[in-house]
Amino acid sequence: MRSVNLACILSLFFFLDISNSIGQFVDPQKTIVGGLGNEFLSAASFAIIMGQYDEGIRLTHLGLNRYRPSMGDRAAALSNLCAAHAAKGEPDKAIPFCNDSMDINGRNWRVFVNRAYSYYLKNMLSEATNDLDSAASLRPDARQVIQLRGMINERGLLPRVIMEDHQ
């Protein structure tokens, strides 16, 4: 019995160390939800960061439906849903979440980047550029803004073949 209690205590300390390290992934501007008091949103943002998009999407929906998050947390959670769907290559699912997030908080540069990437996936380069310009106006030095601008420019410079019918 005593060894079981010791194992439980050691497990608890291990868990506390992990939960403290999760805090390093939370964006101070609350663009990725830390979910203070909402363990689903906290776990969801961590899952999305770790590339477990389906789990992050599931947990985000649970966090939004089981709790009443603040408007800021709701906007960030919707942005996270947009990012997860875009990362999965599902821009048509991502864009409505971006739009909903923007309706709540139109000053979140990450949601502009997420929607720009979704438009990029749909090859809607002018829309992607417009959103990227909005993101750059809010956070010009962000690595994601610079990287996506390069991707858009590269795709825009691809040679196009024009087929002509010669008879």
DSSP character for 4? H
- The Cα 69–Cα 74 span in angstroms is 6
Spans of all domains in the chain: 25-156
Reported for 127-136, long-range contacts at CB under 8 A and 24+ positions apart, including other chains, are: 128/152, 134/109, 135/109, 135/110
Long-range CB contacts for residues 100-107, cutoff 8 Å, separation at least 24: 101/75, 101/76, 104/71, 104/72, 104/74, 104/75, 104/78, 105/71, 105/72, 105/75, 105/76, 107/138
Q: Quote the CA–CA distance of 126 and 2 in Å, as a whole number.
A: 66
Pairwise CA distance, residues 7 & 1, whole Å? 10
User: What's the chain's average pLDDT?
Assistant: 81
- 16-24 contacts: CB < 8 A, separation 24 or more? 22/46
Mean pLDDT throughout 108-119? 97
pTM: 0.74
Domain 25-156: homologous superfamily in CATH: Tetratricopeptide repeat domain (1.25.40.10)
pLDDT tens digits, one per residue of 40-93: 999 999 999 999 999 999 999 999 999 889 999 999 999 999 999 999 999 999
d(CA 19, CA 14): 9
Residues of the chain above pLDDT 70, percent? 74
Query: What distance in Å separates the CA atoms of residue 81 and residue 101, rounded to the nearest whole number?
Result: 10
